[in-house]
Amino acid sequence: MADALLKVTGIYKSFAGVRALQDINLTFEHGRIHCLVGENGCGKSTLIKVIAGVYERDAGEIIINGKSFEHLSPIDAIQEGIQVIYQDFSLFPNLTVAENIALNKELAEGRRFVNWRRVRQIATDSLERIEVDLPLDALVEEVSVANKQLIAIAKALRQNAQLIIMDEPTSALTEREIRALFAIIRKLQERGIAFLFVSHKLNEVLEISETIIVMRNSKIVSSGDRSEYDSTRLIYEMTGQKIADKAYDFEPDMSQPPLLRVEGLNSSDLIHDISFELRSGEIIGVTGLLGSGRTELALALYGMLPIDSGTVEIDGEQV
């Protein structure tokens, strides 16, 4: 077994008398990919924030790099190499890529003004560690979600990260972007950096993980090597229920009129020429990337977004 980078023992945390974490015992090793899964509300986010020093634990011990911390602060965690990449990335949208990566680094070199050449060099060196080339002078608000993820990783590496915690890192990524992210994670793992990957996407958990941790109702109900798990076991331990893997064949009755008919729907520059029909018992899925118009379509159908042209019929009556 590799040397322990982080060890938490007997961790408890409550909010207003409600137990959020109960007797959490975990060990994180250098150069290993750990995955944390569990239903919403099981305590995953609370555990992350306790490890990162954001929340003060009620009881238990936290040991990082062999040092026990009675009161772990966020600065303590960062100095010991614990970095968290939250879903919003915690980046400054109005600053450049280079500025975000080099932020908090001593840049002035004893002078009153920032050494911008050094800022760019720090950013370049950090991006080279993950073999990524990004426009250093671009504002973060102008880059894609996938590139924001890479900027956050580069920033973590610049702060000498030893354990990078990633909270739902693939939720807004395309399949191609997920492949690229996983390749970077594996490269960094080979260099001794550990990861805690938090996700609801079980197929990705089973693909990327070496160790799996399952939480339910504020407790660790299971942890072990990836080889011990499949999707059926993960679902059972997350929910406490056995979910039958059934396939349901359903064909809507096309002889019946649709409950909802949308034809040629347009709204400003947000949605264009949307047409579909929905029949009784039928489920229609709407998918697309962030900004593709999914939310705007729902708002238009609900009457919360003005419709420029097109028709919406419910039970044959135009609304």
Mean pLDDT for the stretch of residues 165-186? 94
pLDDT 10s digits, 70-107: 999 999 999 999 999 998 899 999 999 999 999 876 55
Alpha helices in 80-230 (DSSP H): 97-102, 116-129, 145-158, 175-190, 202-208
Higher pLDDT, 252 or 282: 282
- Residue pair 234/242 in contact (Cβ under 8 Å)? The answer is no
Mean pLDDT for the stretch of residues 266-279? 90
- Residue pair 85/150 in contact (Cβ under 8 Å)? The answer is no
pLDDT for the residue numbered 109: 54
- Residue pair 27/7 in contact (Cβ under 8 Å)? The answer is yes
pLDDT for the residue numbered 246: 63
3-class SS at 8? strand
What average pLDDT does the chain have? 91
Residue 85 carries which DSSP code? Answer: E
Evaluate if residue 174 carries a pLDDT over 80. Answer: yes
Mean pLDDT for the stretch of residues 140-155? 95
Beta-ladder partners of 83: 164
To the question of pTM greater than 0.75 for the whole model, the response is yes
Higher pLDDT, 255 or 4: 4
Mean pLDDT for the stretch of residues 266-276? 90
Evaluate if residue 108 carries a pLDDT over 80. Answer: no
Q: DSSP readout, 232-299?
A: HHHHHHHHSSPPP---------TTSPPSEEEEEEEETTTEEEEEEEE-TT--------TTSSHHHHHH
Q: Where are the domains of the chain?
A: 4-239, 260-318
- Residue pair 97/140 in contact (Cβ under 8 Å)? The answer is yes
Mean pLDDT for the stretch of residues 174-193? 95
Q: Which residues of 173-185 are buried (b: 16+ CB within 10 A; e: fewer)?
A: beeebbebbbebb
pLDDT for the residue numbered 1: 45
Confirm or reject CATH 3.30.200.20 for domain 4-239, answering yes or no.
no
Give the C-alpha separation, 114 to 99, whole Å: 11
Higher pLDDT, 4 or 188: 188
Residue 95 carries which DSSP code? Answer: S
Evaluate if residue 15 carries a pLDDT over 60. Answer: yes
